[in-house]
Structure 1
């Protein structure tokens, strides 16, 4: 029997409950990370890979980074190269949905197989340490005077930090279409631009900026959560009179064309991985909020988020 046929048979049997004690130790997972190294998707994918190994549901995990266009380039490559592969997975999230809405790529995430939402992370806005601005109030005052003079740096067009910047502008009476947003292909590029003073203010998940905040190279001035996040000493935007709250969730999808039994098997692998010590340590280290959601509930969540993001981006002139 061919190995891929054997694995597919195991997947079907496991999903049917015929193999209750069998771990997926033979699985060699291929993880597509549709972003450059150093960002939130990269961190999520690699932490998930370690968790899969720690939970003994994968014998090995290989990673491929393919950044650009809010994940659309990696998405297209994953779709074309992994059809029917029961051991292939791709990291994705709210940023990809926003990129699909704005960029309208030839391949949509809806053509893949939803597996699970993993985490939610709120965006934090930061200034370089030597910025003439000290607070979000300073940035807002300049934004009101001259919107174009404030350069917002972050992920691809349509990323949650892009949407948050537009919502901040709207909240303080500035047309969202006037914001000067500079997109970057990955977290590493955004960090370099912020530290180099090439943008006025940067936005991303807290985990991407944490080491620079802790070292004093960046000053955190606002977070997009509804209330203070445990372990993160950053004031919310709402505390500062800016009525904006938005979370950046991340999840994982399987390849196009896999069977329901194979989807169930992948889901089972992910659930086991999220219970591992390695994953729990990653949540704490990165200040990620666990938000596991699978099956029909995850499908419906993605549909709702697509609709909500599209409505917000249309109002902001971004779609």
Structure 2
């Protein structure tokens, strides 16, 4: 089984934004004669450590919400741990709480399944899928491995001799390593995968020579690759990515190994429908802004925007697909 590239889509939102002292009026309607107004304070929970993909996505949303006038005081708070499920367990019980968003994504979907948590993404309200990002494998600049075939040949010969740093157990990084292992005839469980709570820690481990390779999203390693500090071994796209050099693309190994991580914004359950629509509309406007388009390009993120009910429907399908992958890799507990 594999995770394929997700299709980009958007949902039209029909509710106006509300005015100043709260994000909605007491009866849930828009103030000031329906004139669109920015959101007030929004707290965005980044469910991983600073420097991680979730942290980067959350702060990118924060910056564009503020600079574009979509929200007056967006803030980011890091709550790392267990593939985002620590943050999920904190946010999910806050039913009906306004002005609270949480970054989510493939890693949280897999984290729920991998960790067997009682709370799931069904305990949140899907707002929008924001972007997709290719996975990349890197090695220290003086590494003897010049191809992913050579890397996995060494793993097959002596799994413990090759440590690979990545995100939390069961994360998108872990899933992709498992898929590559299966492709090269290695039992996924035999891979010496070293999980970290964020991409910043994984990067430090690779740069410091504590591991023989690292895997993460493209944006987390691209600067070090460009500066020659790390060697780009593989990118999970079928085509080369602009501005960052890799020894191989997925197509050089097997086009079926094309893979994208994705990240989204969600909110607690129990919100008034008008508030939910307001949040979806804000994210839709943000996605359409030039500032967000520039952010996508800067970070080499793919515009896979999907919002509201369409995102919620896709999310259920994605959960089923990810569970199938984790079952096959022997990682599913839920």
Contact 2:182 2:188 in 1 (8 A): yes
**Cα drift, residue 178 of structure 1:** 1.4
**Cα drift, residue 233 of structure 1:** 3.1
Q: Does 1:196 align with 2:202?
A: no
Could you report, residue by residue, the CA deviation over 1:236-289 in whole angstroms, capped at 9, with x for unpaired residues?
133135742221001000122112211100001111112223212211111001
Relative to 1, partners in 2 of residues 1:92 and 1:230: Cα closer, same or farther, differing over 3 Å?
same
| Higher helix proportion (structure 1 or 2) | 1
| Counterpart for residue 239 of structure 1 | 252
* Matched ranges for 1:15-26 at <5 A: 19=34, 21-24=35-38
Contact 1:11 1:265 in 2 (8 A): no
TM-score by length of 2: 0.88
* Matched ranges for 1:35-54 at <5 A: 35-54=48-67
**Take 1:87 and 1:198, find their aligned partners in 2: how far apart are those partners?**
41
**Take 1:12 and 1:91, find their aligned partners in 2: how far apart are those partners?**
25
| Counterpart for residue 149 of structure 1 | 161
TM-score by length of 1: 0.92
**Take 1:247 and 1:103, find their aligned partners in 2: how far apart are those partners?**
22
Contact 1:168 1:242 in 2 (8 A): no
**Cα drift, residue 56 of structure 1:** 1.4
Unaligned segments of structure 2, at least 5 residues: 1-18
**Take 2:241 and 2:116, find their aligned partners in 1: how far apart are those partners?**
34
| Counterpart for residue 259 of structure 1 | 272
| Counterpart for residue 183 of structure 1 | 195
Unaligned segments of structure 1, at least 5 residues: none
Contact 1:54 1:273 in 2 (8 A): no
In the alignment of these two chains, the number of paired residues is 313
Backbone CA RMSD of aligned residues:
2.2
| Counterpart for residue 309 of structure 1 | 322
Q: Does 1:109 align with 2:109?
A: no
Could you report, residue by residue, the CA deviation over 1:80-137 in whole angstroms, capped at 9, with x for unpaired residues?
3x43122211111001111111001232121011000000001000001122222222
| Counterpart for residue 180 of structure 2 | 168
